[in-house]
Structure 1
């Protein structure tokens, strides 16, 4: 039996808004915000670094999930966008010595341009595995450019990212970086949610389900595909730019096939077509390497095992546990009946 998405939105009962659901959601939102603001007070320096890394990864996974989960395009350009953003920030800060504000803007614009380039094969009707191979090749081509980019990318040695300031605040400590990352992450996620809950979000889901049917409804498929890839590239690249600040150095090996597989696993484990699932996947798989750092080789085994178990028993991802097995709440983002 198919589920009508308009009748199972959070905070609604039989198509009507529920004041209890709305107040309950707002309460949890305030609790979550308070926890995020207070978290650094209880963390050591290294733990704070790990949390910062998870935050910027979560931003990138949200961007990846936009094209993969909502538009339904099997495009593996996420690491390419991530690298574009990281190198844009590193070049602006480490080579051009410009302010951090301009570096982040450059990352977002570079990611959007990368998304525009990736959207071109999709506009020509290339889908599925063919699009996956093309986008994989695009990422490897960029990695080759990083290695042989001469003074622009400084080759295999990469670029050092110096300390900087943002609106007068020093970004040289993990403590200060955290609040910048959370603020930018919240902004990017909020803007993404606004888009997905608007006419734009309904249009790209319609395109994912059937491009022919979407065209018959008057939806401009090329325009929505281009904008979706551009926004996906922008969000992912911003995460990459913040990652460069976190690590302090950008090298080509950070954007290899292993990084792509890891990010893809985060999307699938958290929940395909779910913003909350993107964040959850980044948290769960982001802490595995550090928890098992004393046992070399076990992180890969645990990550693979978690992914297999989730795909077998929770095909909608860990986020589906929030609404129970076969939750109607997420039926809107999946084609199979529930």
Structure 2
């Protein structure tokens, strides 16, 4: 782990709070490099010590570069690559019709699956996978925020013992209500993201998502934010995200399964081949539904809180299964995927 002297940093600017810790943009001038580089500094608290341990163990060459100590405050700070392009959720929000070719989408999924596979390989569960914890830098995506990560063998016992979970709806797997958290719970969260990469539906804060206002079915939150089959996609894509969201964890793929399943498909795809027109029409229609619902909610409630990770007790963890309307097979992924290749991989869903 590299230590960076404080005198190498300049032009420090506060840019926000990552989780519960302040984050600053800085210029790093390395004495052995001709050009300064933009980096990020994140103040380390007790929770971030866990993040340092996980990142240094699983992701040495990625975002986490080392440590420094602020001379004026004495704060220990993580030195990280600066995320130039924000997070995945911002990207979907701002560019709903961007990245609509399967080569780009499968590449993103493979990168995230590789991140999770590296983490699971060292025996750690992330426990807080959602699009705001996926940052884009140098045209690549990285999974971040390991404050709540725990050893895989201890994740369920920690959840059962504390009777609480940090998470963001609807990325929390259903088995958590029974105090069960495994690596397959991380996969469930990834499954929601795989669906979002095409649908471009961005989920709001729990007060909006769980809004119980009565009215026409089309105006109710569980309809507006429904997770359903996507039209105009190859059948294998739907089978992938449906498998990740299977109610029983043992039927979901692991991260390595996802990567290996997509690799030959990704290599066979060409760049800049647009998706079926039905996909674009679907995105536009769903975004209009969401915008209308949030306008109505804001008029009635006068405010919409930020969609962030929250602490839930197991007894009050909301059920989100009603948002999901998918054709689950209830069979293991290995069987499902081998069967799918009996069919033409270019077969399109209706």
TM-score interval for Structure 1 and Structure 2 normalised by the shorter chain: under 0.3
TM-score (normalizing by structure 1): 0.25
Q: Of the two, which has the highest radius of gyration?
A: 2
TM-score (normalizing by structure 2): 0.25
Structure richer in strand, relative to its length: 2
